[in-house]
Structure 1
């Protein structure tokens, strides 16, 4: 715990952000840092709650509650409060390979299940986590570890997102020779191209960790698509085990008239092009500059599209959500320790509101069709309000007659989630898929129908959180290690 009665003495405080109108002028991370004294006060708020739920990592009503990698949160909160930063760092690294990633982009289900959150704002777990790892980098505590003995076993990890990197890190520490394949030109998967630079700095944070792993012996092969650039026959011949961490990159599409018009793009294509442009100093292949942008879909991806559009200099941006507007406070059917389904204003909406004078989100809105300008380009979309009704036991949206509206747009971004992994590689490997199109692999051993071929992360469980991807990568690494050696000491 932190300080006795600390939760009564100190209010929840998080680092100040750079002002929205200032930060939209660049692509730098926008969170400021807190002083060590202020961080100790926040650590002091951690209660001696007897049964902490913050590190449970369970699913309640289909939503994550607590930390899926079971971070030892009360312990490192206490260490921070007492000024024992090295001990806090050691505890943090017992469960999390990449706290600098989760401390920036995880939605913090740990805070949603914090016991203090029953009566007061929860402990600032996410910020303390990020502060611990950044302090450790500053102090030189994060150093490449020499692997004393190599097993002689070779493992191919396909995909360099958080699941693939976590698995590679663990398997390398176990002494195996690990090669990570990535079809994009840079390593990092979702971390590199799926999350904008202002949320997760690519050179200073992502590449820093990749460089460290490379120094420890992990081999990376960017720009190499397994099944195309690197035949599957060669993969199976040269490696003793294969771990598929390709992610759930097959986006959910919008089946409406006008979908194929020029100017309609999947959100991830837009974000990838935007980040590549930032990294190379070039113009993005898909640009929002001077365009009326409509983002269809909420969630983190939708928010990132809003923020990216603003930084690229869009004329205006609107975000449409088919779900109703969330309440300001927990409802009776959403009790603690469930994730609080309440209204949140993320960085993108804050920036749009500062620039445009209002929150860009419109709720309970369905897109009915996309309208042609007469030259094959989008000029507007037709929408209508929806009400949610029960039909044959399922709650579904139903258009409300008379609420149809035409909304101008010349760039439409589809941010409606993902369906599962792409099938081409799986078919070449002969790996079975589930009815949901995810890779069919055991929840205990991560094995597929092909001996020596394993799967983890979003490719196996479907679209999920970065912290679940790390959980799966670590767990799959244990099973690959067990498969190769007959036992495992990996945590």
Structure 2
């Protein structure tokens, strides 16, 4: 620890952000990292707690007390080395991770946690600014070839680790640009895509090849996905010594109620990627646009929040967000839930920009304007007793809805990809593979491994990075008999 009394002397300091009225006018990031001195004082708050629960709370097991101590000492280069020893992409997690490490911080028992995420953000941005983040090519090549299917955080982490182990790695991505959900899903105001581009350049410097516009599966599925080219799993298994499938969980949860077929009712992941493409300079014929509309977002998670922020930037007349579950408490019972992730009311930056939120609401139907378009939503209030929900009698209501966005999560990977590989699935439709013991991350098909949301189910970017790293080690052990890659 850098300063014995730091947690007593210095309050938590939050990163500064642009005011909502201004940031709604553009698509750029609006949160600024801490300056050197503010980061040093924040790092000084890290106490000698004996057991760093933050380390376990972080899915990639960041060595948080160590890089906090180095930041306090202003030894930024070593702090970066410590951070990158466990996390391939701190610029992603430092911006979009919900920070389970902070929930597990010992200070969080009775006060404000150390601003771990803000320190991580500062370290990696300083590393890029100083030119310390450079390619790390392998000293020796193994002669083994690995195909990685999917270029989201799990695929990118696996690819980078395998390339650094000396393998020849090719990443296959069905979209026209690499990045997966980071590229086409997370809005630019949360993660500008230049962060992805410069990381891809680093990986190219390490020998990773990227083949975009290539769908791995059947030719018919390739046409549906919009990919320009199709490659069969059999081809990959023939041409490569190992294959990692890390394509994500992309099947959205639907809402089968009357009126679902009406024009103006869309999945969130039909809506969000379009704006990413527009921001990238692509021309779209018919963009789903919220301008001057009354928008209803169904689903209270991160994807729903992203729909709120995007709708506000479109110039929506009004945005309402419904959640099926009851409103959580504003403050969790810390002694009861610490160090685990607490259920409490969370207000995102998008909510701050303008949104009417409502809980314990179920959708009964979408109503037609007579021309095949949605004009309103009929909902009903719910009551929850013993974990079961029931409609409140006489509580039906109608709300204007010119655009409805379904953001209720994802149920499984695209089944056609897994079917094409012929891998066994679990009960939720994910690729079946264990994460420990002999054969971890290995599917039922020889040479084929699975990682990320395609194996785990819908989860966080930081979990995807963990899975990609661990899967890379499993592949390296499979190919070489042993591995020096960290697990």
What band does the TM-score fall into relative to the shorter chain? over 0.9
2:304–2:321: 8 Å Cα contact kept in structure 1? yes
1:220 matched to 2:213 = no
Matches within 5 A, 1:454-469: 454-469=449-464
The residue that corresponds to 2:405 in the other structure is 413
Question: Which deviations, in whole Å up to 9, do the C-alpha atoms of 1:368-425 show, x marking residues without a partner?
Answer: 11111111111111001101123xxxx2321111110001001100000000101112
1:106 matched to 2:97 = yes
The residue that corresponds to 1:441 in the other structure is 433
In the alignment, the residues of structure 1 paired with residue 80 and residue 388 of structure 2 have an alpha-carbon distance, to the nearest angstrom, of 47
1:477 matched to 2:454 = no
In the alignment, the residues of structure 1 paired with residue 122 and residue 21 of structure 2 have an alpha-carbon distance, to the nearest angstrom, of 25
In the alignment, the residues of structure 1 paired with residue 120 and residue 44 of structure 2 have an alpha-carbon distance, to the nearest angstrom, of 14
Shift of 1:3: 1.1
In the alignment, the residues of structure 2 paired with residue 387 and residue 170 of structure 1 have an alpha-carbon distance, to the nearest angstrom, of 49
The residue that corresponds to 1:312 in the other structure is 314
- Once the two structures are overlaid, the 10-residue window that deviates more, 163-172 or 317-326, is 317-326
Question: Which deviations, in whole Å up to 9, do the C-alpha atoms of 1:71-98 show, x marking residues without a partner?
Answer: 0000101110111111101110110000
The residue that corresponds to 1:367 in the other structure is 363
The residue that corresponds to 1:403 in the other structure is 395
2:34–2:119: 8 Å Cα contact kept in structure 1? no
2:361–2:382: 8 Å Cα contact kept in structure 1? yes
Matches within 5 A, 1:153-232: 153-203=144-194, 205-227=195-217, 228=219, 229-232=230-233
SS in 1 for 2:120: helix
Shift of 1:147: 2.4
1:364–1:386: 8 Å Cα contact kept in structure 2? yes
In the alignment, the residues of structure 2 paired with residue 397 and residue 212 of structure 1 have an alpha-carbon distance, to the nearest angstrom, of 50
Shift of 1:328: 1.6
The residue that corresponds to 2:225 in the other structure is none
1:334–1:340: 8 Å Cα contact kept in structure 2? no
The match for 2:305 among 294, 300, 303 is 303
Aligned length: 471
The residue that corresponds to 1:267 in the other structure is 268
1:54–1:111: 8 Å Cα contact kept in structure 2? yes
In the alignment, the residues of structure 2 paired with residue 321 and residue 210 of structure 1 have an alpha-carbon distance, to the nearest angstrom, of 37
Cα RMSD for the two superposed structures: 1.2
The residue that corresponds to 1:379 in the other structure is 375
The residue that corresponds to 2:287 in the other structure is 285
In the alignment, the residues of structure 2 paired with residue 146 and residue 405 of structure 1 have an alpha-carbon distance, to the nearest angstrom, of 61
The residue that corresponds to 1:2 in the other structure is 2
Question: Which deviations, in whole Å up to 9, do the C-alpha atoms of 1:470-490 show, x marking residues without a partner?
Answer: 110000001101111111110
SS in 1 for 2:404: strand
SS in 1 for 2:197: helix
Shift of 1:2: 3.1
Question: Which deviations, in whole Å up to 9, do the C-alpha atoms of 1:112-157 show, x marking residues without a partner?
Answer: 0100011210000001001001101111111112322111111110
SS in 2 for 1:54: helix
1:488 matched to 2:483 = yes
2:109–2:334: 8 Å Cα contact kept in structure 1? no
